[in-house]
Each structure stands twice: as structure tokens, then as C-alpha cells.
Amino acid sequence: MGVEAESTAVSETRWGGGSRKGWRLHVQQLLRVREMTLLLLVCGCGIVFSLTVPNFGSLANFLSISDSLVFDAMITTGMTIALVSGGFDLSVGSIFASSGVIVAVAMVAGLPVWLSIGVALLTAAGWGLLNGLVITRVGVNPLLTTLATMGMARGFVYIVTEGRVVTGFPDEFTAPGQAAFGPVSALVLIALLVVIAADVLLRKSAFLRQLYYIGSNERAARVSGINVERARIGVYLTTALLAGLAGVLSTSKFSAAIPLMGTGAELKAIAAAVIGGASLYGGEGTVLGGTLGLIFLALIQSVLVLLNISVYWQGFIAGAVLLLAVSLDVLIHKRS
């Protein structure tokens, strides 16, 4: 669906005419765009919670929610791209940790800040390249490949840190992670930039658009002359670099790199991307959708704390809401 559905929706909007039937078709077609359902759901939740949950509707609460989404948003962006291409990347949480820790260790060892960041991003790229090469050249399933590198990268973190939290960085490194423009933190702006850029590129750039083709029908893509291997390697480089960048920023924000950082980030990203319309079978999904999925998950989590739901119930309720949201989405698509 993904791109196709979108283009049909767009054309229907354009040529749909003014009759009642046309109008109904409009709504149906709009609803078929995955992001639309989700956007309505997010806005609906936002409005309902604002009216019913004390302190929810405040600007401070929205800013605090967005502050807590920064790293997940960047990782989800990469995951969405991987899912679109028919791939999968379980190693992002570990790569996040690996870069977050490498930048820390490099600075503590006395490397200049820019070089430390460079080394951290190169490390991430290294993991991405390893994933890409094993998947394309050796032909191992992405799930297994990235499951293995997830373990390797986490192990690498422990080798480098010996399990210890690393601290003691120059101010010029920690400043950007803690900077703010008015009430909006610099990190939120960076994440926003990444999300918007990735969303536009995935829709418009020829290189990224071909991922939808590869994801929905790899053989056809190959026959039509697309360099599938190169595109795939590019995908895993992208997911790794985004995770690596997020890791570096996290270390900057917390002024500390903890070996456990990013544990479980891959599952959260997959959940967000799938809620946002990405398919586990490839060929579908948008970055905007993934981000909305993430926001939806965060809204639910935030409300659970604001309403003082018992911590024992939180996991259950969050899971149930997730199931409900995904089911609702599937039902809407079935009907139209």
C-alpha cells in the first residue's frame, strides 16, 4: 500500500468531485492513508486527555513528552526505512549504546570532541556496513543478522566500558545536549529536522523511493535494473548512523554513557513504525507515520502516570491500547 494508497488518495482528493458520494469517498480514501487514522487518533487522544486528565493539556507537558521522544524518534526513523525496504534491524539499540559509549570513552582518553564524535559515528557506520554486507553478500536473513550484531554491539559496549558508566566530558560536548531555544530543547529541534528530512526524502528522492519497490517485490525490482544490494547496504548504514547519532546525543544530554543505554529501543521502534503503518513484510510505511506511532505510545504512557495508574497495571493497559489501536486501524482498512 504505502505510496500507492497515498497517490490514489491524493488523486481522489483532486478529482473526487463535489457529490455526496464523492465526499464520502474522500473521507474513506483519506482514512485509508495510514497516517490520517493515526493523526486523528493522536489528536483525539490529545483532546480527550486535555479535557479529562489534569495537567495533561499544558504546554509544559507536551514539551516534556517531546523531550522524552528525541532518541526514539531518530531510531524509529531508521527502523521505518528498514521496514519499508523489506528489512529489519534489531541491532539499533545496541548501536545506539555503542556510539554513545565510544564517544564517551574517546573523550575521556583525550581525543578532541569533534574527533570523538567522528569515531562514534564511524563505529555506527561500521556496524551498519557489517549488517548490510552480511545480509546482501552472504545472504543471511536480516532478522538473524541483526540479532547477532545486536549481541555483538552490546558485547562491544561491555568490552569497552568493562560495564562501567563513563563520565567526565568537556563542556563543549555536553552543552548542545542541554541547550534550549526558549522552551524548546535543541535536541527536539534536531530530531524534528531528522524526521522531516527523512520523511520528505523517503517520499521524494529517487534512491529512497525505490526502497518501496524493493520491499514489496524484490525480484521485480532486480529485473527492472535497481541495484538492490547497494540500496540494502544503504538502508542498514542509515539505520545504524541514525542510531549512532542518537547515542552520541544521549551521552551529551545525560553527561554520562551507561552500558545499558538503548536496551529495548529496537522493539519500541518496531512497534511505533508498525502502528504508523509500516508493514513487517516490507513495501509500506512512512517516517511521519512512525513518528505519529511513537507519539501515540508516549501519550498513552504519559496519561498512565498522570492518572496515577498503578505501576503493575501500566504494562497491561499500554499493551491493550496498542492492540486496540492496531485492530482499529486494520478494521478501517478492511472496510474501505
Site for other proteins contains 24 (CB under 8 A): no
Site for other proteins contains 19 (CB under 8 A): no
11, 23, 40, 164: which one binds other proteins (CB under 8 A): 164
Q: What is the DSSP string of 267-335?
A: HHHHHHHHHTT--TTSS---HHHHHHHHHHHHHHHHHHHHTT--HHHHHHHHHHHHHHHHHHHHHHHHH
Site for other proteins contains 254 (CB under 8 A): yes
Site for other proteins contains 264 (CB under 8 A): yes
Site for other proteins contains 12 (CB under 8 A): no
5, 30, 67, 333: which one binds other proteins (CB under 8 A): 67
Site for other proteins contains 111 (CB under 8 A): no
Sequence-separated (6 or more) residues with CB below 8 Å from residue 60: 183
Is residue 85 within 8 Å of residue 284, measured between CB atoms?
no
**Torsion 119-155-137-205 (CA) sign:** negative
User: What would the grid cell of residue 115 be?
Assistant: 574527533
Site for other proteins contains 60 (CB under 8 A): yes
**Amino acid in position 123:** T
Site for other proteins contains 162 (CB under 8 A): yes
Contact segment (CB under 8 A) with other proteins among 10-18, 20-28, 153-161, 275-283 equals: 153-161
38, 42, 49, 72: which one binds other proteins (CB under 8 A): 72
19, 138, 312, 334: which one binds other proteins (CB under 8 A): 312
18, 54, 139, 182: which one binds other proteins (CB under 8 A): 54
Q: Name the residue with cell 498522570.
A: 306
Site for other proteins contains 129 (CB under 8 A): no
22, 112, 170, 315: which one binds other proteins (CB under 8 A): 315
**Residue 319: count of CB within 10 angstroms of its CB:** 12
The partner residues of 181 in beta bridges, in order of sequence, read 184
Length of the chain as a residue count: 336
Site for other proteins contains 71 (CB under 8 A): yes
Q: What does R_g of the chain's alpha carbons equal in angstroms? A: 21
Q: With CA atoms as reference, report the closest residue to 87 among 149, 144, 150, 138.
A: 144
User: What would the grid cell of residue 313 be?
Assistant: 497495571
Side-chain half-sphere of 14: how many Cα atoms within 13 Å?
6
Query: Would you say 56 or 173 has its CB closer to other proteins?
Result: 56
State the greatest distance between any 2 C-alpha atoms of the chain, in Å, as a whole number.
Answer: 70
Site for other proteins contains 155 (CB under 8 A): yes
256, 317, 326, 332: which one binds other proteins (CB under 8 A): 256
136, 234, 302, 321: which one binds other proteins (CB under 8 A): 302
| Interface residue list for other proteins (CB under 8 A) | 54-56, 58, 60-61, 64-65, 67-68, 71-72, 97, 105, 108-109, 154-155, 157-158, 161-168, 250, 253-256, 258-265, 298, 301-302, 305-306, 308, 310-312, 314-315
